[in-house]
Amino acid sequence: MRLLRGHGDHRFKRNIYRKPGELYLTRYYIFTSKWVNIAIHKFHISDYAVHHDHPFNFIAIPLKAGYLEHLPDGMVLDRRPFQPKFRTANEFHWVQLDPERGPVWTLFIYFRRRKDWGFLTGDGWVDHRTYNKRLGLEEN
């Protein structure tokens, strides 16, 4: 179990790029353990407009700005600040930012890894490595 503090710890912060030069998300780790992890996410840009799942169950709590969450059944949910949402690893969604609201910050609580994750495409579920290769992108 680790409580991560301070900006000098390289494990505290991770920038995730959608593709080279395109910063997608900054993850600030607050707490990590074998069973549960707590992070702050700063979304810089929207997800790809393709539904994806996650390798773990999670709770997302928008802290600033909020976002639109697109579900496979066509529903679009307006996720406002301080409205928590639990999702299982098997649920699909994609996140759309509203540039007029500014950057989106969320508290992200995620649990033990359960499976690989990927995208819901016209060909069915495709793992994230294969999907990114199809787009000509490398793992980051």
> Class for domain 2-120, per CATH?
mainly beta
Q: What b/e string do you get for 93-103 counting C-beta neighbours within 10 Å, with b at 16 or more? A: bbbebeeeeee
Ramachandran area for residue 133 (φ above 0: left; ψ -120 to 50: alpha; else beta):
alpha
Q: What is the pLDDT of residues 79-137, one digit of tens each?
A: 999 999 999 999 999 999 998 998 999 999 999 999 999 999 998 999 999 998 988 87
**Domain residue ranges of the chain, discontinuous segments joined by +:** 2-120
pTM: 0.87
DSSP 99: G
Instruction: Give the closest residue to 112 by CA, choosing from 74, 42, 57, 47.
Output: 57
What's the rounded Cα separation, in Å, for the pair 67 and 107? 13
Q: What is the pLDDT of residues 30-83, one digit of tens each?
A: 999 999 999 999 999 999 999 999 999 999 999 999 999 999 999 999 999 999
